[in-house]
Amino acid sequence: RDGMDLKFIKNIEGYSDKSVFDIYEHITKEHSRSNESRKYVEVGCWKGKSVCRLAMYAEIYKIDTEIFAVDTWKGSSNTKSSHPVNKANVNHDELYQEFLDNVENCKFKNSIQSIPYESIEAAEILKKIKFDLCFIDAEHTYNDVWLDMVSWFPLVKSGGLIAGHDY
């Protein structure tokens, strides 16, 4: 790659910060020490900034991965009405298309599989998969985070990592 991907990824609108990117780089770097195929899931993806960064690191460290991006792309009901992610301010079709366009523009269309469901439903759909990394950044209320943790924890394989952002 010519470095253009990182420049494009940096310009994707999103709320993840350096701490998330550092986790993703650290995990992928550690996983590169073996030749195992890896499975990652990000729950709550918005426009794709952090999941594209995860795919970029997996590529940099030459990891054979399947990456799942779980989101409704409908916005959140747990934000102020003026916030851009509030459901009232989100056009689902436009937001989902922007996510897909961002993934394609980063050239990760074949690396990232979108799962357009609520977190708990997606966990049920993907329940036969054991993930090396599950990163939760969906709804931000205590109850929602708790439900996400309870739903996704059984899908993390022994020795895997479950982490999150913004609670």
Q: Hey, is 32 helix, strand or coil?
A: coil
pLDDT of amino acid 89 = 56
Run of H or E residues at 114: strand 112-115
Please tell me the predicted confidence (pLDDT) of residue 93: 83
The pLDDT, as a whole number, for residue 141 is 82
Residue among 25, 23, 20, 27 at smallest CA distance from 132:
27
- How many helices and strands (H and E) does the chain possess? 6, 5
Give the pLDDT of residue 122: 97
Pick from 126, 127, 131: which is nearest to 157 by CA? Answer: 131
Q: What residues have CB less than 8 Å from 133, skipping those under 6 apart?
A: 27, 38, 39, 40, 41, 156, 160, 161, 162, 163
Check residue 8 and give its pLDDT. Answer: 83
Q: What percent of the residues of the chain are helix, what percent strand, and what percent coil, each to the nearest 5?
A: 45, 20, 35
> Taking CA 46 as the corner, what is the angle to CA 64 and CA 126, rounded to the nearest 5 degrees?
50
Mean pLDDT for each 10-residue chunk of the chain (167 residues)?
68 84 95 96 94 95 96 74 56 88 92 96 97 90 90 97 82
Q: Which pLDDT score is estimated for 71?
A: 94
Helix extents (H) in 32-162: 49-60, 92-105, 119-125, 142-152
The residues, any chain, with a CB within 8 Å of residue 9's CB and separated by 6 or more, are 49, 52, 53, 56, 106
Return the pLDDT at 84. 56
Of 45, 44, 42, 49, nearest in space to 13 by CA:
49
